[in-house]
Amino acid sequence: MSEQSRRPRRPGKPYRRPQKDPVRILAFEALRAVDERDAYANLVLPPLLRKAREKEGPDRFDGRDAALATELVYGTLRRQGTYDAVIAACVDRPLREVDPPVLDVLSLGAHQLLGTRIPSHAAVSASVELARVVLGDGRAKFVNAVLRKVAQDDLDGWLERVAPPYEDDPEDHLAVVHSHPRWVVSALWDSLGGGRAGIERLLESDNERPEVTLVARPGRATAGELLDALGDEAATPGRWSPYAVRLSEGGEPGAIDAVRENRAGVQDEGSQLVALALAAAPLEGPDKTWLDGCAGPGGKAALLAGLAAERGAVLLASEKQPHRAGLVAKALDGNPGPYQVIAADGTRPPWRPGTFDRVLMDVPCTGLGALRRRPEARWRRRPEDLDGFAPLQRALLRTALDAVRVGGVVGYATCSPHLAETRAVVDDVLKQYGPAADLIDARPLLEGVPDLGEGPDVQLWPHLHGTDAMYLALIRRVA
Ligand SMILES: C[S@@+](CC[C@H](N)C(=O)[O-])C[C@H]1O[C@@H](n2cnc3c(N)ncnc32)[C@H](O)[C@@H]1O
């Protein structure tokens, strides 16, 4: 009980206990964990949901409650930039002086008011009740006052008031309207090119929940089998990958036999296209030994191993972190052909140079191409992170080019479209190899995929392809 609630009350105003709403309390706890412990929302949520189900029982916490809690957490985190600007306009001090737990309750409330169909009065009163439970009655009054101001306008109205005009500062405008840090808007726009319409569509896509895509692992399952098992209502075929199946809203991968049996997995179609393009690159001479040099947790390695098996080739899947190498081994378990998994630092490779016919280097990166999946990532990343990754990305691409035989092909991939992690790395390293390595046009190898730009490398985009913003450069060793 807070100090406030112990004070004598005016007669006629009996104390009412705050109502405990398990959905809002759970959402608040998740936001605190993300804020305080740098936790990842997608890792924090499942145990909290399980705990709430066990504590409340299925009648008081059902599937719809879980869906609402998830939406509140993801939506609040994604839209944090916009909500911060709105809340800042409603409090009389800088936001950094507002206690983080109070700000979390305010952001959750702002999301309910501006980003959901929850009626305003319900959004305010649910937030005030939450504040009474987790912050105390005194701070609940502050929450009430701020959210009543927020409720005075809708999202469009607020954006007109708090975002600088596009004409004055396009990047700042887009940063506030679409809730991305300004430097991220700037980097995405540099890579995407074009005018306002394209970048707006991309930023909007980053704020949408991505659909879940499955991969049927070659030799272990087929897309047709998954589609039959799921039925027309629950799934549709992938757009381009013959192994992809797209789950409809609310589809639960864990309920699918083939996924439980490891014959299929969850994998973005962009990641599938990267593996498929590398496997499809034309090759003269032997095609027997493949390497995945950054394999953890094993999504692309599992697809590559299946494709390799179909052609009698063997995949070596290598990953620096032993526990992630363990995940790779799990993903590959049951592969129809031979493979090997090792834990090795790709900058000090244990294999002999010129050993492999095909090599994938899917390097560590900022992940700016997967913002749809990681709602908190955009706020955590800093421009300085690029400097941290730059030497490693170059070293790993050099390892790949040394590992492949003359005539063999290397795929350099990132799940970031940032030019410093994509073209700049490829250009720098290719300069060092001079005439010994050549870029291949990757576009024809992504069969049927439109809008792949001028090549020879390819950049996929959420708003154009419905995939993560994966980048792929294919390079042939020619001497
Ligand atoms: C982008 S992820 C790869 C994703 C993977 N290809 C997939 O599809 O599941 C990059 C991986 O590289 C690993 N890594 C980081 N530094 C490495 C190094 N020096 N050598 C090898 N792997 C490294 C990371 O641990 C991480 O698992």
pLDDT exceeds 90 at position 160 = yes
pLDDT of 216 reads: 98
Is there an atom of ligand 1 within 6 Å of 321 CB? yes
What fold, for 213-266?
A: Alpha-Beta Plaits (3.30.70)
Q: Ligand 1 center to residue 295 CA distance, Å?
A: 5
pLDDT of 255 reads: 85
Average pLDDT, whole number, for the chain?
A: 95
Q: What is the pLDDT of residues 412-423, one digit of tens each?
A: 999 999 999 999
At residue 1 the predicted structure's pLDDT band, cuts being 50, 70 and 90, is very low
pLDDT of 8 reads: 57
- Contact by Cβ (8 Å): 305, 339: yes
Domain ranges of the chain: 3-150, 163-206, 213-266, 269-477
Strands (E) in 119-243, as ranges, are 213-216, 235-237
Ligand 1 pocket mutation, candidates 266, 303, 319, criterion most atoms within 8 A of CB: 319
What's the pTM?
A: 0.94
Name the CATH superfamily, with its identifier, for domain 269-477. Answer: Vaccinia Virus protein VP39 (3.40.50.150)
Choice between 254 and 314, residue whose per-residue pLDDT is larger: 314
Q: What is the pLDDT of residues 56-100, one digit of tens each?
A: 998 889 999 999 999 999 999 999 999 999 999 999 999 999 999
Q: What is the helix, strand, coil percentage profile of the chain, to 5?
A: 50, 15, 35
CA distances from 88 to 80, 84, 107, 109, 156 (A): 12, 6, 11, 14, 16
pLDDT exceeds 50 at position 5 = no
Name the CATH superfamily, with its identifier, for domain 3-150. Answer: NusB-like (1.10.940.10)
Lowest mean pLDDT among 6-10, 105-109, 471-475: 6-10
pLDDT of 3 reads: 40
Per cent of the chain over pLDDT 90 is 93
The gap from C-alpha 47 to its chain's centroid, in whole angstroms, comes to 19
pLDDT exceeds 50 at position 164 = yes
Q: Which atom of ligand 1 is nearest to the CA of 413?
A: 1
- Contact by Cβ (8 Å): 126, 24: yes
Task: Calculate mean pLDDT across residues 302-308.
Answer: 98
Where is the binding site for S-adenosyl-L-methionine, in residues?
294-300, 319, 345, 362
Residue with tokens 């908190």: 376
Is there an atom of ligand 1 within 6 Å of 319 CB? yes
Return the amino acid letter for 456: P
Is there an atom of ligand 1 within 6 Å of 362 CB? yes
Is there an atom of ligand 1 within 6 Å of 468 CB? no
Is there an atom of ligand 1 within 6 Å of 349 CB? no
Q: Ligand 1 center to residue 319 CA distance, Å?
A: 6
Task: Calculate mean pLDDT across residues 449-455.
Answer: 96
Task: Calculate mean pLDDT across residues 129-142.
Answer: 97
pLDDT of 419 reads: 98
Q: What is the pLDDT of residues 181-237, one digit of tens each?
A: 999 999 999 999 999 999 999 999 999 999 999 999 999 999 999 999 999 889 999
Return the amino acid letter for 134: V
CA dihedral sign, ordered 442, 444, 447, 448: positive
- Residue 364's φ and ψ, nearest 5 degrees, are -60, 140
